[in-house]
A and B are shown apart, each in its own frame.
Chain A
Amino acid sequence: MPRRTDLKSVLVIGSGPIVIGQAAEFDYSGTQACRVLKSEGLRVALVNSNPATIMTDPEIADATYVEPITPDTVEKVIAKERPDALLPTLGGQTALNTAVALHESGVLERYGVELIGAKVDAIQAGENRERFKKIVADIGAESARSVICHSMDDCLAAAGTLGYPMVVRPSFTMGGAGSGMAYDEADLRRIAGAGLAASPTSEVLLEESILGWKEFELELMRDRADNVVVVCSIENLDPMGVHTGDSITVAPAMTLTDREYQRMRDVAIDVIRAVGVDTGGCNIQFAIDPATGRMIVIEMNPRVSRSSALASKATGFPIAKIAAKLAVGYTLDEIRNDITQETPASFEPSLDYVVVKAPRFAFEKFPAADKTLTTHMKSVGEAMAIGRSFPEALQKALRSLEKAGSSFSWAPGPEALSGDERAARKAELIESARRPHDGRLRAVQQAMRLGATVEELYEATRIDPWFLDQIAALDEVAAPLAEDQLDPEALREAKRHGFSDEQIAEIRGTSAEVVRELRQALGIRPVYLTVDTCAAEFEARTPYLYSTYDEETEVPVGDKPKVIILGSGPNRIGQGIEFDYSCVHASFTLAEAGYETVMVNCNPETVSTDYDTSGRLYFEPLTLEDVLEVVHAEQETGEVAGVIVQLGGQTPLGLAQKLKDAGVPIVGTSPESIHLAEERGAFGQVLARADLPAPKHGTATSYEEAAAIAAEIGYPVLVRPSYVLGGRGMEIVYDDETLRDYIERAGGGQWNPEHPVLVDRFLDEAIEIDVDALYDGEELYLGGVMEHIEEAGIHSGDSACALPPITLGREDIDRIRTSTEALAREIGVRGLMNVQYALSAGVLYVLEANPRASRTVPFVSKATAVPLAKAAARVMMGESIARLRAEGVLPATGDGGHLPLDAPISVKEAVLPFDRFRTPEGVGVDTILGPEMRSTGEVMGIDTVFGTAYAKSQISVYGALPTKGRAFVSVANRDKRAMIFPVKRLADLGFEILATEGTAEVLRRNGVRAKIVRKHSAGPGPDGEPTIVRRILDGEVDVIVNTPFGSPGQSGPRLDGYEIRTAAVLRGVPCLTTVQALSAAVQGIEATAAGVIGVRSLQEHAQHLWGGEEDS
């Protein structure tokens, strides 16, 4: 059956901002889908509020709407675009929910839009637990025994029949939000209470505990001729009880016989048929009782998912791409397998390697959060690794996480322990492994070193004995490495088992360099094998490679000069999809410029690790050892023109100097120049030469030194460790006592001249400005100037910002340009640079300069309709800005600092994951913003004026800004003056104003009729008058203005604010924590109330901006 000819245009919905549970994998799938549909000659319209995505690049779709993904907005896009069909299965739960809403409100029918990919009935059959359970029963399979509840009374009654412990799952939430395990009635009341509130249908499911069972997933595809294939099986190393997104997972399944696997496959196929997913993919999860083999169907997702992205990368079978083709009418046998180019897509990949995915957590950003892993996803990213055996893949995956303490360790030590100490330590580790948490597998491995048996650890963890034995085997491989004379065979065996030079060096008490030299001298080097979908049965045409210590290498020989681009590794807070964006652009543009592009990355969620993106893909950890070996392999087969380290964030940047020292040609800004910008002392000299002011600062290695600096420059001061990204460990301190506490606590208290603490004067009430610029050695191209909406002190990644800057004048911008150019020249930038400034009392201070692609590059590119990352890649390879202007890559004249007067205003807003975390006591974590970055993603609002653009950004984050109702205001004394006008405006717009006593007093004196509401700390009134927290929880408040005051950890106002903000997160009420955000929100509320918010595509904006000369 060929492609349907009745479809001419398709609307694709993306997944919006990166949040926990819905991340970059949907950019990967959405980008694939849009490209497929476009290549089929269809007009593609796209809605996605996330500017950091490749899919929202103007060349990917025909009409790209960076607009809120709400039914209202999407309806406006439909009215404007009049698409024939809507494809909702590639944008995660967000897209699916939006599509269902548009169906239910009759919009799709009204505009004659057909839902393709999954019918509404199939979506509901898959997602409605009662219906799904019935389907499972009808096909003769089993579900966990369960009860659907709509109230707490239902829940308590169900507990009587199911017994504790039981799982609580709210319906229709993404990433399992609100799920948990209830061990007793108190747990049940707490978790089910929150779940009933979180579920859009006020529905929770209580279910028998299958904790500790084996967990599996299958990825399936079905076409309209009813052909079904199972693309991949995935086994979770962590048994049931840990969300699959937080589990270490393995593909293919390792511990099933064919009978068991085929039974699972049969059930999965029956499920996809019964649910009615007829053109596309789905994911089905299973649990198996390890004692009896009883198999339970857990759930299915009738759409592309995180697991399907993983399965695509794990097998080389591009699920999203094929789902898009199926949606427009092709059948599986009509689609070629890209990798072999001779066999069809109607087959099931066979793997001759093992894939391991490991989650990356960000608990360090949320110190108060409970680190126990549950059915509620908490990881912010993941790394995938491929090896020829499970141990090799596992060790590669763990080091790909780039996190201290993730890899297994055989550091000397345990030998010295006495028998009793060993036993005690072993018992402690086993106990620690009993509770699933971030470091569980490492605890397992350490316990084994101390003699814990597979049986003991199985009893504690329920991790399958096969996996445990594989880890035990590593211990045996490690043992001979400690001997005085290193046996080459032992070394070879260790490399075969995935040991890094670093791990071996640790065992031998030497450096990784020494191990590397010895290893290479012995000729022990990895080979690169191909991910070919077919276990070598057919020749692979697409070079998608991984390293392993095996027989023969498969790196193809080429004649074009090669550029190696180092990616950014697993997503984490502070280093996310934005960096992948720049890497992908570099790859696209350098391929056009005639280079063979070679991508190195280990993040399975991304577009960069799509085998289609670059000439060659190496799925490898981004460590020095692994990168050096890739470079070596590429040099063996052709000329390496350069390695790009500037685009993938801190990960590749951190390798720059060492790569250069090893003789690797680094292109773009040199490692020495990078050092100039990153090392405080050197940067001070750069500033002095450029004659630019910086906030007063100093470098300290002890409390005494830090206190002396603080005394000189005056409190408050900003303190942080050097060389960090995302503001790790950065704090504002107001007095000596807090300073002492910081010095002792942060960085483990280990400060030295190599790793000092930086002490900066904190500029109160300054405007913070972010700049992205390009420099070729001659000319500066100012990409964009962003004005932060929050004042300085909030991490730039967490701060909303506007472009063009809303309150800066031409003169300010000219000063910024001059300063940026001076910095670029003095540092020696070739390519991109990001500078942060603070404008305070007319002085433009330089806060920091980063000679690399920044988080804001995609935002700036979209806001100004200029492909900055592409231009940067060309500049790094030696092209001039003048040439790029002539080619039309950059505008012929002007730059991002000189936008036309009526240029659209773009607002970037951060999305924060506070709703994901609870303290071990089960209460929410504080939501206050600070110098440490904690957002997982961002959205963009773009419109002709600031108010509307800001409103769009807020709608994208919160769903909507209220246009009426109750506003609660409680601000710090320093903010009281600034809040009067905007709050008065809110009152004028018809909001009822609630305020705490002090705030209400000021408001009333200024003519705002504010009602006093009881503080949380005051408790309920004598007649039961509720506190503000109670009223928020009861849904009586529509917007909250609460600026924090008081010091952390104290009681009183600070604690009140904490309770208020936590309640706001629980109820999903917009909560403004700065006065600047309040002013912006008021403009947004006005715009929303006026009902003038329309939609406009990026292509139309570009046409308007650059008069159609720019098409990208």
Chain B
Amino acid sequence: MNRATKPALLVLEDGRTFHGTAYGAEGEAFGEIVFNTGMTGYQETLTDPSYHRQIVTMTAPHIGNTGVNDEDPESGRVQVAGYVVREPSRVVSNWRARRSLDDELRDYGVVGIAINGTRALTRHLRDKGAMRAGVSTTETDPQALLERVLDSPDMIGADLARVVSTPEPYVVRPEGEVRHRVAAIDLGIKAMTPRRMAERGCEVHVLPATVTAEEILALEPDGVFYSNGPGDPAACGYAVESMRGVLDGGTPVFGICLGNQMLGRALGLGTYKLRFGHRGVNQPVQDRANGRVHITSHNHGFAVEAPLDGPFDTPFGRAEVSHVDLNDGVVEGLRLLDRPAFSVQYHPEAAPGPHDATGLFDRFCDLMDRS
């Protein structure tokens, strides 16, 4: 019980301050503060590499109820820089749970804070935009913490995919016989993504972010996949470069999240930072080809700028915006009309989130079948 009363401090770069109690590791952490509206899936969220260097605020008040298990992590560690919740669970209740979230955060040295005003914070971020912040269990002076927040690096221009990517290639074996060989560029890949491909008979060669097109094509893959990942897409020139090389060769390409932004940039489109981003599991995305709406899992702070009114020309032939978010009209998917390449901004692999869009993996397999 003593831990619950240990004070902690959260300070945003515009000076807004929240007092709370410590949760997880003690210490101090900095990052871009964002909010996630998912009501389930904190374990997947915490281990998603796309949250690297971000302080994640959960809008759902009760966190940690089902503890932490060994099956649900999306990577080998807790990735977030800091964690903001309202009501950390005192107990763990689930037949799969192995340990508590509090312990898990401490094991990975992640500093968290429980504050009353998670909603006030969310409203603030919605109105003012995601921004830098610091959370500390050691500093009691907001002004001092604010100074360190202002010294911390900005998300704009941050090349983080390189940081979270696997240093060495590895292979995820398919379930059953091999139908396709996929080269998956790890810009911060979630564990569920290669698993979704493996379920469909793909042998997935996961490669480091900075791999070149030559190295990729040397594997003679049936298709190339660009994963999700953290940071500013504008800082990942190496992946845009390899993407162009792959597109040139005509190998089928599928991208998710940062991978979608890589395709966009490879096509010559711009990317921009959203005010507060999309982070949650309830976003309505419409497939413009058939009007169908999928409820989808999102985690992106940047988006692609592309013409919504119809196909447009790119160095790789005509392309179109295939998906849009119905909440705010943000581009959620791209498709080349003359080459076998497509990408989505959201997360068809889910984990956490609804499985509405898992069919996109089948679409990727179909593309590989046809090529």
Contacts and interface: CB of A to CB of B under 8 A. Distances in A.
Which 6 A-B pairs rank lowest in CB-CB distance, beginning with the nearest? A551-B117, A258-B41, A258-B352, A535-B59, A551-B120, A466-B93
A59 B38 CA distance: 41
Interface stretch (B62-70, B176-184, B240-248): B62-70
Interface of B: 1, 18, 35, 37-41, 43-44, 59-62, 65-66, 69, 71-72, 86-87, 89-91, 93-96, 116-120, 122-123, 126, 280-284, 286, 291-293, 295, 326-328, 350-355
Given A333-B284, A349-B282, A258 B72 contact: yes
Given A257-B40, A347-B326, A350-B38, 10 more contacts: A227-B292, A257-B96, A346-B326, A347-B295, A351-B39, A352-B37, A389-B62, A389-B87, A537-B35, A550-B117
Interface residues of A, number: 59
Contact of B62 (A254, A257, A292, A344): A254
Given A256-B40, A258-B72, A258-B351, A454 B120 contact: no
A293 B96 contact: yes
B43 A257 contact: yes
Interface stretch (A237-245, A261-269, A877-885, A1008-1016): A261-269
A552 interface: yes
Contacts of A226: 292
A973 interface: no
Contact of A552 (B120, B280, B291, B355): B120
B169 to A, nearest CB: 28
B39 A257 contact: no
A820 B169 CA distance: 91
29 contacts: A226-B292, A230-B354, A254-B62, A255-B93, A255-B94, A261-B40, A262-B353, A332-B293, A333-B293, A343-B284, A344-B293, A347-B295, A348-B282, A350-B59, A350-B280, A352-B60, A353-B61, A354-B61, A454-B91, A465-B93, A466-B93, A496-B116, A534-B282, A535-B35, A535-B60, A536-B123, A539-B126, A550-B117, A551-B18
Given A534-B37, A536-B122, A255 B295 contact: no
Contacts of A539: 126
Nearest to B5: A489
Contacts of A349: 282
Interface string A545-557: 0000111100000
B66 A262 contact: no
A265 B354 contact: yes
Contacts of B59: 350, 352, 535-537
A132 interface: no
A291 B44 CA distance: 23
Given A258-B72, A266-B355, A347-B283, A291 B65 contact: no
A266 B357 CA distance: 12
Nearest to A354: B61
Contacts of B61: 352-354, 388-389
Given A466-B89, A552-B117, A351 B283 contact: no
Binding site secondary structure of chain A = loop
B78 to A, nearest CB: 16
A473 interface: yes
A298 B40 CA distance: 23
- Say what secondary structure dominates the interface of chain B: loop
Interface in A658-699: none
Nearest to A489: B5
A293 B280 CA distance: 25
Contacts of B87: 388-390
Contacts of A550: 116-117, 119-120
A293 B60 CA distance: 23
A325 B66 CA distance: 38
A262 to B, nearest CB: 6
A80 interface: no
Contacts of A292: 95
Interface string A200-230: 0000000000000000000000000111011
B60 to A, nearest CB: 6
B354 A347 contact: no
A389 B60 CA distance: 9
Nearest to A227: B293
A469 interface: yes
Nearest to B327: A343
Nearest to A476: B1
Nearest to B276: A537
Contact of A347 (B117, B284, B350): B284
Interface in A284-315: 290-293
B95 A293 contact: yes
Contacts of B89: 466, 469
Interface string A461-472: 000111001000
Given A258-B72, A352-B118, A390-B62, A225 B327 contact: no
A614 to B, nearest CB: 23
Contacts of B94: 255, 257
Nearest to A353: B61
A535 B125 CA distance: 12
- Determine which residue in B18, B72, B284, B352 has the highest number of CB atoms from chain A within 10 A of its CB, and name it: B284
Contacts of A496: 116
Contact of B295 (A253, A348, A536): A348
A318 interface: no
A293 B93 CA distance: 12
Contacts of B353: 258, 262
A538 interface: yes
Contacts of A473: 90
A1005 interface: no
A257 B69 contact: yes
A344 B326 contact: yes
A254 B39 CA distance: 9
B140 to A, nearest CB: 17
A536 B119 contact: yes
B5 to A, nearest CB: 9
